[in-house]
Amino acid sequence: MEQTNDRTFLETEPVGKLLLKLALPTVAAQLINMMYNIVDRMYIGHIPGDGAMALTGVGVCMPLIMVVSAFAALISNGGAPRATIFMGKGEKDKAEKTLGNCFCTQIIVSLILTAFLLAGNRGFLLAFGASENTISFATDYMNIYAIGTIFVQLTLGMNAFITAQGFARTGMLSVLIGAVINIALDPVFIFGFGMGVKGAALATVLSQACSCIWVLAFLCGKKTHLRLKGKNMILQANIIWPSIALGTAMFIMQASESVISVCFNSSLLRYGGDMAVGAMTILTSVMQFALLPLQGLGQGAQPIISYNYGAKRADRVKEAYFLLLKIDVGFSFALWVLVMAFPRAFAAMFTSDAALIAYTGNALRIYLMAILIFGIQMACQMAFTSLGKAVSSIIVAVMRKFVLLLPLIYIMPHIFTGNQAMAVYMAEPVADVLAVSFTSVLFYFQFRKVLRQIEG
């Protein structure tokens, strides 16, 4: 059964049992969300005749789609942990004000993003790596997707507050509803109605709208512990700014994926043409097999760490973190083994083009070479956020993406000149090794400091 409105179970139940109870639904939700995100690409890549070019065109849209998700994370991934910390302190009023302020802010941000996307997406898509061969597919998809921005924002953002309260299965259902509808509508619109990429975008918008209705109905209903109330939607600086500050690290992680995607696409278009850009679309999708489940594990651990941090239970904070770390590392290693052993099988999920499968198989082994240690990075990153350590979260996010990966995208082709396109892909594992080393050292000292503070 789903937990009741009494949140004290976060402080009393055994940590291992509690993490299993909360993490399984959140991981399932992220796996479902992964299918949600990549199912369009899987169908599009198999469109007869135009599949490869259509897949590349939709892949170029990913930077803009990532920006939409990043703004949801900016508000909710800071607001939700803060709300849980307030709950741990017994300050329910502040927790509900955080929920209301974040809801209002997300509506404002959604309207701005929608206008932005509708006004200038063609120019951005051309700058992001679209060619004359793929731009029509990219704009067809993006023009429709932009209309559903508000549904994406509210679904992703408000669902974080459901999970943060310990209602992990309800959070999973929020994603499942949209995913099932999307998977059902995709073939109908893409192939049945002959709408192609427009059909994929329309299916996504309609499915996100259904998820949005479900999420808001729950947060306005009787089962939720924190309820959406009109009086809490009046923005207060002392409520919303700390939430945004804490969410900035996750925003940087996700928004930087957009910037990095642009840099990858433009560099790959230069050294490898449309084939290399198309392969990058598949590599990004496979990377989600690692990132999203790891994020789900972190979201499952977040209420435990945040609540017990607020309640000053250092023993449970420590136990929850190390259990999360072990699971994250185990998952990363298992995925690394599969990718190294069967790279072409992953590529074939997204395209039936033999040349693209062969090219992507080689690129995939290089791009995900260091994924086996990435669980360390994600465990530390999620723990920083759960503990409300905004500055540390921002530092590790900026270090991996902007200080390391972005320059390496342009440096590596000049070091390995024999195959410059593959050298671009190599930037990812080199950056990951350096980032994990830096994050591990920083977390070691910061975590010890946190434990001493709450033990004292």
pLDDT tens for residues 36-51?
Answer: 666 777 788 777 777 7
- Predicted pLDDT at 286: 85
Residue type, 83: A
Quick: pLDDT tens for 78-137.
Answer: 899 899 889 888 889 999 999 999 999 999 999 999 998 888 778 778 877 777 778 888
Q: Alpha-carbon distance 112 to 92, whole Å?
A: 31
236: left (phi over 0), alpha (psi -120 to 50) or beta: beta
pLDDT at 1 over 50: no
Q: Assess if residue 22 is contained within a domain.
A: yes
pLDDT at 3 over 60: no
- Predicted pLDDT at 76: 85
The CA-based diameter of the chain, rounded to the nearest angstrom, is 67
pLDDT at 164 over 90: no
Tokens of 96: 């509900």
Segment 306-334 shows an average pLDDT of 91
Quick: pLDDT tens for 222-250.
Answer: 888 899 998 999 999 999 999 998 888 77
* Percent of the chain with pLDDT strictly greater than 90: 38
* Percent of the chain with pLDDT strictly greater than 70: 96
Q: Assess if residue 128 is contained within a domain.
A: yes
Residues 6+ apart with CB under 8 A from 366: 422, 425, 426, 429
Q: Alpha-carbon distance 282 to 292, whole Å?
A: 15
Whole-number average pLDDT of the chain: 86
- Output 77 or 267, whichever has higher pLDDT: 267
CB 405 within 8 A of CB 260: yes
Q: Alpha-carbon distance 432 to 453, whole Å?
A: 31
Q: Alpha-carbon distance 268 to 425, whole Å?
A: 9
- Nearest 5 degrees, angle CA 375-CA 326-CA 336? 45
Structural domain boundaries, residue 429? 14-455
Confidence of residue 4 (pLDDT cuts 50, 70, 90): very low
- Predicted pLDDT at 321: 93
- Class of residue 443 by CB neighbours under 10 A (exposed 0-12, middle 13-18, buried 19+): buried
Question: 157-161, 215-219, 352-356: which has the minimum mean pLDDT?
Answer: 352-356
- Predicted pLDDT at 456: 65
pLDDT at 7 over 70: no
Residue type, 104: C
Q: Assess if residue 86 is contained within a domain.
A: yes
Q: Alpha-carbon distance 388 to 24, whole Å?
A: 23
Q: Assess if residue 7 is contained within a domain.
A: no
> Which candidate, 297, 288, 284, 383, places its Cα nearest to that of 335?
288
Identity of the highest mean pLDDT range in 39-48, 187-196, 335-344? 335-344
Question: 34-43, 164-173, 442-451: which has the minimum mean pLDDT?
Answer: 34-43
* Total tally of structural domains belonging to the chain: 1
> Which candidate, 314, 308, 450, 327, places its Cα nearest to that of 13?
308
Q: Alpha-carbon distance 216 to 234, whole Å?
A: 18
Q: Alpha-carbon distance 52 to 134, whole Å?
A: 10
- Predicted pLDDT at 421: 92
Question: 47-56, 198-207, 238-247: which has the minimum mean pLDDT?
Answer: 47-56
Q: Alpha-carbon distance 162 to 300, whole Å?
A: 11
The alpha carbon dihedral of 225, 226, 229, 231 has a sign of: positive
Confidence of residue 8 (pLDDT cuts 50, 70, 90): low
Q: Assess if residue 65 is contained within a domain.
A: yes
Residues 6+ apart with CB under 8 A from 181: 203, 206, 207, 210
- Predicted pLDDT at 248: 85
Confidence of residue 332 (pLDDT cuts 50, 70, 90): very high
Quick: pLDDT tens for 256-290.
Answer: 777 887 888 889 988 988 889 888 888 888 887 77
For residue 136, give Cα distances in angstroms to 127, 133, 234: 14, 8, 42
Quick: pLDDT tens for 174-183.
Answer: 888 988 898 8
Q: Alpha-carbon distance 202 to 114, whole Å?
A: 15
Q: Assess if residue 268 is contained within a domain.
A: yes
Q: Assess if residue 9 is contained within a domain.
A: no
Q: Assess if residue 122 is contained within a domain.
A: yes
For residue 303, give Cα distances in angstroms to 30, 75, 95: 17, 17, 13
Q: Which residue has the tokens 């990153």?
A: 381
